[in-house]
Structure 1
Amino acid sequence: MDIVLFGKPGAGKGTQAPRLAEALGAQILATGDVLRAAVKEGTTRGLQAKSYMDRGALVPDDVILGIVKEALATPKYAGGAVLDGVVRTVPQAEGLERVLCELGRRLDAVLVFDIEDDEIVRRIGGRVVCDVCQTPFMGREPGEPCPKPERDGGHLVRRKDDEPEAVRNRLSVYRDQTLPVLAWYEQHGAKVCEIDAVGAVDDVTRRALGCLS
């Protein structure tokens, strides 16, 4: 099963992705992860991406989608993919549709984790990340040592883009870019499911799986 995850920043996609992947027998495919892996491995597409990244330019959609296609063609994703962050614009949605078609696959569902803006601001405002491994944590204060068991030596910091004004700007960008994508999917007959993302993590997971059943 191949599904795409959508949701505002802080809606819980990163929390739900591994849970859904495990329940579905699939693997997570996140743009950043496959992009970094391709660059590290020195693949043709990875070297193309690196040439843009080295000069501070955005990596074009066709290069990213080429890397995504290469990843989906590997045995790792034979059981399905939970696509997180792969689709943010209509051209990317169109490109992913072509990629899946070329691989003889299809998109089974688009899951949209829905939550009010004020709750997002509250959530993200309480988030800190490790300055080494970038793992996010809630309910902790900046300056604390990273609590991960491996003790990577990092300390917790609050990112500037997690401040309330920055979060509201990110939400505005999300609406401008993402709502047209969801409309495109609906117009093209995709199964688009809105998930109430407020509540216990287990409850949100059950709602998501219920939409897929």
Structure 2
Amino acid sequence: MRLILLGPPGAGKGTQAQLLVEKYGIPQLSTGDMLRAAVAAGTEVGRKAQAIIEAGELVSDDIVVGIVAERIEEEDAKGGFILDGFPRTIPQADALDSMLAERGLALDAVIEFKVDEAQLVHRIERRAAETAAAGKPIRKDDNPEVFQRRLREFREATVAVGPFYRERGLLRTVDGMAPVEAVTRQIEQIVSAA
């Protein structure tokens, strides 16, 4: 099973990805985590990425796709994987599709989390307040200014990825504002039909 979870920050993708990991035993692939691991491991792609990062530049789509390509060759990803937060743009989606096709692989589904942005902002503010009240460090992403910037970036670049996959018959939607258990049931229905 090869899935993409698509939606704005705070929509619940990470929570649902962890539940899928536990249920199906396939890894959740975070491009940020994979990038850091490739740099630490000193792989060819990791060395290229490190040079770009050290120069203060953004890592190119080719390098990110190369890191995904390396990662899906690992044993734990042979039975499938969940991409969360990637692809973020149409060029990344095109490159991902080409890379998978070269390996004789295809996505099973792209699950888009539909949310009400105003309610989402309140959800993040509440999560930050609850975290602070519990005496735990607040996630950097839960800072209201950071969250608003990430939401804007999603609207500007990533929102177009949904229609890209809809045209290919892969896009399925879930109500990201529903309780966690209800979203899980929606995703299980999608996965069982894929």
TM over 0.5: yes
Aligned mate of 1:184, from 164, 171, 178: 164
Q: Percent identity?
A: 39
> Structure 2: any 5+ residue segments left out of the alignment?
none
Alpha-carbon RMSD: 2.0
Q: Determine if contact 1:142/1:158 at 8 Å carries over to the other structure.
A: no
SS of the equivalent of 1:140 reads helix
Q: 1:63 deviation in Å?
A: 0.8
1:31 counterpart = 2:28: no
Higher helix share: 2
Q: Judge conservation of contact 2:127–2:142 (CA < 8 Å) in 1.
A: no
Kindly indicate whether the alpha-carbon contact (under 8 Å) linking 1:29 and 1:84 is maintained by their aligned counterparts in 2.
yes
CA deviations on 1:6-44 (whole Å, 9 max, x unpaired) are 111100111110112232332111101111111111001
Partner of 1:209: 188
Higher relative contact order (CA 8 A, sep 6+): 2
Q: Which 4+ runs in 1 deviate beyond 4 A?
A: none
Structure 1's unaligned 5+ residue stretches are 129-137, 147-155
1:176 to 1:48, Cα distance in 2 relative to 1, 3 A: same
Q: Which has the higher strand share?
A: 1
Structure label with greater radius of gyration: 1
Q: If the length of structure 2 is used for normalisation, what is the TM-score? A: 0.90
Residue type matched to 2:175 in 1? Answer: D
Letter in 2 for 1:122: H
Q: Do the aligned residues in 1 keep the contact of 2:29 with 2:84 (CA within 8 Å)?
A: yes
Pairing partner for 1:140 from 114, 131, 151 = 131
DSSP 3-state at the match of 2:132: coil
Question: For residue 198 of structure 1, what is the aligned residue in structure 2?
Answer: 177
Distance in structure 2 (CA, Å) of the matches to 1:143 and 1:25: 31
Aligned counterparts of 1:3 and 1:177: Cα–Cα separation in 2: 20
Q: Cα distance, 1:169 vs. partner? A: 4.0
* 2:93 partner letter: A
Number of residue pairs the alignment of both structures matches:
192
Shift of 1:161: 6.5
Structure 1 residue 142: Cα displacement: 6.6
Partner of 1:162: 143
